[in-house]
Structure 1
């Protein structure tokens, strides 16, 4: 299911370039990102843009998330590798996911991830600076 909020014209070509199977999975993740941001007033407005040719979602109190295709196949949610977002997620959810070091959560587009675990990663990234400031 895709989000009813329209994709900015500057970002739409990136989604259109993804193969259909992966595009569908990435649009579902986009929908979760937008929904979770809208539900949490601490996050504030999201800035949806392209970074390195990939859809990117940034909040003033978080670290950006990017959506794309990893070299290993499937889809990925990329985080800044110098944050603890991926490491903390791995500590909580262990082998429930595949990871690419400290930079990405890897997802099989044919096997949607546990929504609660996916939401935990998204919230962690979008509020990352709040946790960092509060110790």
Structure 2
């Protein structure tokens, strides 16, 4: 007896699993950029596991960039990572520009470099500021949880 499979199940990978389209994008990056982006990817998944309320992450492509979503809990705002096109050897962690996330990061970590109100900029050749990035990623992955809590507290 065959098990029934939901339509679309084959196209959407399980959270945290390998997505061939994402793997192809990583494979196309220059070596130093790829190494930095893979380190960011590990940091995002590790932070999600360690952060209460986040649940499993889904890795997908949004605007052609590796993206990390919280579909199970809807706790967070999407995080995207990519190389910065006009700047060779620079990568960025992108956040939704209509949130106050980057503004918050700028206040907490003025030593980081920012791209307007939408990204943290990093050099592919420099060491990751891991502690600061983990905190920023955790804030993004719990953005909606924190907003829900704030709204409840105002009532």
Q: TM-score, normalised by structure 1?
A: 0.90
- Whole-angstrom distance in 1 between the partners of 2:38 and 2:18: 10
Given candidates 26, 50, 53, the residue that maps to 2:61 is 50
The correspondence for 1:29, drawn from 32, 36, 40, is 40
Considering only CA atoms, is the larger Rg found in Structure 1 or Structure 2?
2
Q: Describe the SS at the equivalent of 1:68.
A: strand
Measured in 2, the distance between the counterparts of 1:97 and 1:72 equals: 17
Question: Residue 19 of structure 1 is aligned with which of 26, 30, 55?
Answer: 30
2:93 counterpart (67, 73, 77)? 77
Q: Which runs of 5+ in 1 are unaligned?
A: none
Contact 2:97-2:118 within 8 A present in 1 as well: yes
Number of residue equivalences: 130
- Among 109, 133, 136, the alignment partner of 1:93 is 109
**What TM-score do you get using the length of structure 2 for normalisation?**
0.79
Structure 2: gaps (5+ residues)? 1-15, 151-155
Spell out the pairing of 1:118-133 with structure 2 (5 A cutoff): 118-133=133-148
Structure 1 distance, partners of 2:57, 2:92, is 19
